[in-house]
Amino acid sequence: MGKLAQKQETTEKLKKKLSLATVAVVADPRGLTVAELTRLRKELFVEGADFTVAKNTLTKHALKDSDQAVLEAYLKGPTALLIGRADQVTPVKILTEFLKKNKKENEIRGGFLDGKLLTAAEVDQLAKLPPIEELRGKLVGAINSPLSGIVAALSSPQRGLVNVLDQYAKRLQEG
């Protein structure tokens, strides 16, 4: 296979991955060893995400005519792409924590989420969100709380009536 064919194949693979992405983050991979990159990729794979080191020119070709084309602004110097396909928060959280542990300079350049370009600060905020299961639990609790109050309020008069009748029955038995 010639160099051009190999580049085209790489571009097509990257384009396919990006088309399925729910979140994409551009980072600087410098300072990470092959072993560290392998460990990061394994962690991300479990969460349905990829971490790909790619040439900027090939990445630009893959981004062309897509929603994520705005990521081109961050393609300067050595580049790695986090591409998440399922959960939008967990892969970003894994990447930011991993880079903080294993690099002296943590450089996340920016990202893409739901049609919006994210700055590095916004990516950091995204990483600080709780997991989706926890957010769903909080939502269910918030929905359930008023309903529990209504049920308690509606059952309170009946409970009071039962208590009064019980006390009355005890007095009749005693006296």
Read off the pLDDT of residues 121-153 as tens digits, 9 standing for 90 and up: 888 888 888 877 787 888 888 787 776 667 666
Residue 1 pLDDT greater than 60, yes or no: no
User: For 32-48, what is each residue's pLDDT tens digit?
Assistant: 888 888 898 898 888 88
Q: What is the pLDDT of residue 105?
A: 64
Q: What is the pLDDT of residue 149?
A: 67
Report yes or no: 110 and 71 within 8 Å, Cβ to Cβ: yes
Nearest-angstrom CA–CA distance, 141 and 49:
30
Q: Which amino acid is at 125?
A: Q
- CATH tag, 3-129: 3.30.70.1730
pLDDT grade for 104, boundaries at 50, 70 and 90: low
Q: What is the pLDDT of residue 114?
A: 78
Of 50-54, 113-117, 127-131, 157-161, which one has max mean pLDDT? 50-54
Residue 79 pLDDT greater than 70, yes or no: yes
Instruction: Identify which of 19, 3, 109, 105 has the alpha carbon closest to the alpha carbon of residue 62.
Output: 19
Residue 12 pLDDT greater than 80, yes or no: yes
Mean of pLDDT over the chain: 81
Nearest-angstrom CA–CA distance, 51 and 44:
7
DSSP label of 67: G
Nearest-angstrom CA–CA distance, 18 and 165:
69
Quote the strand ranges of 28-105, DSSP E.
49-53, 80-84
